[in-house]
Structure 1
Amino acid sequence: MAVHEVDVVIVGAGLAGLSAGLSFHRAGISCVVLEAGDEVGGRVRTDVVDGFRLDRGFQILNPAYPAIRRLVDVDALRLGKFWRAVRVADGDRLSLLGNPLDTPKAFRDVAARRHLSVKDLAALGALTVRAAAGPAQAIVRGEDRATLDELRRTGLSDRAIESVFRPFLSGVFLEDGLSTSSRFFRLVWRSFLSSAPSLPALGMGELPRQLARSIPSDGVRTGTPVEAIGNGRVRTAGGDVWNARAVVVATDGTTAAKLVEGVPEPSWNSVTTWYFAPPRSPLSEPVLLVDGQGGSILNTAVLTEVCPTYAPEGASLVSASTLGQLAEPEMRRTLTRLYRTDASSWPLVGRYEIPHALPAMPSPHDFRRSIRFGDTTYVCGDHRDSSSLQGALASGARTARAVARSLTGDRGEERP
């Protein structure tokens, strides 16, 4: 057993823990990040299987997120971008819906008004103006309701909601009732207006790896599970003890609830993501494809149209995500219908069941939940903010600021 002394111990090297660690490092506060897994990233990980890059669950990065702009060298990620549009499969049609000024190819299908009427387009325009206008804090502090109620209040028709918005947003929220906070929906919509959803060339796991590289090499220790914390003291499964002036628990919400008394365990939204390697790309566009008929697949995309580096040279990679369990034959039949090509023999590269994918955010949702639990213990993560990359990164930075104030004797508000 070894005993260590440090200013701050961070438990968990997901995005929140790495954000906090980077903030401490920049402030000159000594810290160590202890991670139970064999690599940093938490739920944001990428596996390489036979040359294919498989993110653990369908994930995308929006470079417009404020925390991404503050903490990440976006250019170094070599992002591939999705179109800011969506393909809607409905019967014998694959309609492309998006802003024609951004995606000119969408003009024909938008003008055809198969899914969005003139009234829908006007309601969507008004929603877009409201989301883009003013500071983001105005949205966070505004009235909250379920996203479904918000969409109806904007004047969108049932047809538009059921064939476009429900299938698209179900893939964002990982729940198909659209009970998620309308505040969060407006923030997501605002981010889509600012920048295209993207993928790093080396997979989503490159995001936490970049953050970890910005922290001194001895500041992040993987393969180090923590058994107990309390009173500025952390004990690892290996028997080592870390004494610190503050402890930051940056694990997922379920683990945090076990380690820290008083932390509520969140409800979770789950997802299962499949990866296939068809012999050729079934859709030569970097776009999300959703089922306008409300089928079992949340969304699917040819990831190699976004980032060719997700597969060996000349190969294609298709992702498809579902909320519940889906037998492989049904998955293949649905992909065949959506892509209008035979998917029955596509090689299956990987399949990930993620029961704890995103903390649920039913309305009303508080974006600034308490982070202090005792004199020396703090908790951060997307379950204390919003269920997003932005929420995890922002929560880690917010907690680091609160700890720094405490260490210097400033007991002010723990607000940005």
Structure 2
Amino acid sequence: MTGERTSQRWDAVVVGGGLAGLACARDLCARGLRVRVLEAGDRVGGRMRTDRVAGCVVDRGFQVFNTAYPQVRGRLPLRELRLRPFTPGVLVHDGGRRLRFADPTRAPRQAWRGATGGLAGPRDLAALAALTGFDVLAPAALVRRPRDTSTRRALTAAGFSEGFVERFFRPFLSGVFLEEDLATSSRFFHLVWRSMARGTLCLPESGVGAVPESLASALPPGTVALESPVAALTDEGVLDGDGRTVPARAVVVATDAAAAARLEPGLTVPPHRTVTTYYHLASRSPLREPTLLTDTRRRFTNSVVLSEVHAGYAPRGYALIATSVLGDDSEGRERTTRTALAECYGTDTADWDLVTVRTVPGALPAMEPGLPLSRLTRVAAGRYVCGDHRATGSVQGALASGARAAREVAADLR
């Protein structure tokens, strides 16, 4: 069948049914263009997918959903996702005790307990109030304006003590940036901190995969073709896995960076962060609240009892715990992580059942100082590349990159 040509010529073919590809397709369809989305998997979502394993709702890797992102507010029917919130704060395990960091604007009593419990001193509270106030109240353009440096340098310049950075920011942000040296762009940190303070961290009732499924449902019927891998790009369009040419006036590659570079040789692939999440099932909940737990010894980035976020994530009468670590799943790592969890939760974890392990090799692009918050998606005539690796490593970045690709495609096709 090599060389066979499909009958219809599309205005645009989008390769990949993740957030960026779905956002791009939706915007192009809204402009009246004929669009085809070719997704290699059996469902849309890319890295943002949800599976059901042993009666548990399991995401491809632990994620949270932020309602404050502009692209999220503009594209998604949040009420239909049936969002379940996390506690507005974090529990920090530090030397045999759990200290609470709470958002003072939403949980003032808990915030005061955290302040008096030794997590933060007066200097740190003043610095936190100043930093959060500026990030929340200032226009986004002003938040992005200061000279870009590392997050660690920015926190030091903001007046935080080394102890508070080590106890709170470093373990907490390692789960956000997937690196523990606070080397991520300070400009990106401020935008993330702004969104956390303005929005609610939560998860859809049916898992994070509900987000791309909602985007896909808004496309015209028949737009998305599942289990349709693309072998190569051609002058006429793309070559599918069966050797047929799918003709298109424009091709948008909306895959991860590595797959995009295979289809578009010469494309720069930024370094990526890898994360592994262990899903354990316990006969009782080790923490009766939907709160992220971090560890000052950084034996894991964060842990959360997902069944406290929504009971339906686990079989009735059981608790589902998700714990993420940086890097791959190596021999013995689950065992050492389980030992750390026993200490941090203050419970026996020997009888916890390991439900599954999820490793995401390209979970986030590395975002070091000098990070461009958005880049052109056009890489050649009729060729475009979008995704979080072309913007910022976030849901907002992926959706915004897809939207930018749609604008550039539409302008060129005119």
Counterpart in the other structure of 1:414: none
Distance 2:215 2:236 in 1: 25
Q: Distance in 2 between matches of 1:128 and 1:280?
A: 37
* In structure 2, C-alpha distance between the alignment counterparts of 1:329 and 1:262, rounded to whole Å: 41
After TM superposition, the structure 1 = structure 2 runs for residues 68-83 of structure 1, keeping only pairs within 5 Å, are: 68-83=72-87
Q: 1:18-167, aligned counterparts within 5 Å?
A: 18-167=22-171
- Per the TM alignment, residue 287 of structure 1 is displaced from its structure 2 partner at its CA by 0.8
Shift of residue 141, structure 1, vs aligned partner: 4.2
Tell me if the contact between 1:84 and 1:192 (Cα under 8 Å) persists in the aligned partners: no
Q: Distance between the aligned counterparts of 2:298 and 2:150, measured in 1?
A: 22
1:222 to 221, 226, 234: 226
Q: What does the per-residue CA deviation read over 1:164-196, in whole Å, with 9 as the maximum and x for residues that have no partner?
A: 100000000000011111111101100111112
Query: Which segments of 5 or more consecutive residues in structure 1 lack a partner in the other structure?
Result: 409-416
For the pair 1:170 / 2:183, whether they are aligned, the reply is no
Q: Which residue of structure 2 lines up, in the alignment, with residue 322 of structure 1? A: 325
CA offsets per residue over residues 3-29 of structure 1, 9 Å max, x none? 231100000001000011111122211
Deviations 1:124-173 (A, max 9, x none): 11111121132223333432111111111111001000011000000000
- Kept in 2: contact 1:140–1:367 (CA 8 A): no
**Matches of 1:230 and 1:140 in 2, distance apart?**
39
Q: Which amino acid aligns with 2:336?
A: E
Alpha-carbon separation, structure 2, partners of 1:248 and 1:365: 23
Aligned-pair identity in percent equals 44
Instruction: After TM superposition, give the deviation of residue 406 of structure 1 in Å.
Output: 1.3
- 2: distance between equivalents of 1:56 and 1:173? 17
Aligned equivalents of 2:301, 2:269: Cα separation in 1: 26
SS in 1 for 2:160: coil
Structure 1 residues 16-415: aligned runs within 5 Å: 16-292=20-296, 294-324=297-327, 325=330, 327-408=333-414
Name the Cα RMSD after superposition.
1.4
Q: Distance in 2 between matches of 1:138 and 1:295?
A: 33
* Residue equivalent to 1:412: none
Could you report, residue by residue, the CA deviation over 1:313-347 in whole angstroms, capped at 9, with x for unpaired residues? 33211000001345222111101001000011101
Is the Cα contact below 8 Å between 2:236 and 2:245 reproduced in 1?
A: no
Q: Give TM-score scaled by structure 2 length.
A: 0.95
- Deviation (angstroms), 1:49: 0.7
Is the contact made by 2:304 and 2:321 (CA closer than 8 Å) also made in structure 1?
yes
Q: Distance in 2 between matches of 1:357 and 1:235?
A: 27
CA contact (8 A) 1:232 1:377 kept: no
The residue type equivalent to 2:230 in the other structure is V
SS of match in other structure, 1:161 = helix
CA distance in 2, matches of 1:383, 1:46: 22
Task: State the alpha-carbon separation in 1 of the partners of residues 144 and 31 from structure 2.
Answer: 28
Rounded to whole Å, the distance in 1 between the matches of 2:59 and 2:247 is: 36
Shift of 1:113: 4.7
In the superposition, the TM-score normalised over structure 1's length comes to: 0.95
Contact 2:99 2:117 in 1 (8 A): no
Q: For residues 115 and 27 of structure 2, what CA distance do their matches in structure 1 show? A: 48
Q: Which amino acid in structure 1 is aligned with residue 351 of structure 2?
A: S
**Helix, strand or coil: the match of 1:190?**
helix
**Superposed displacement of residue 109, structure 1:** 2.6
Looking at structure 2, the residues matched to 399 and 269 of structure 1 have their Cα atoms a distance apart, in angstroms, of: 24
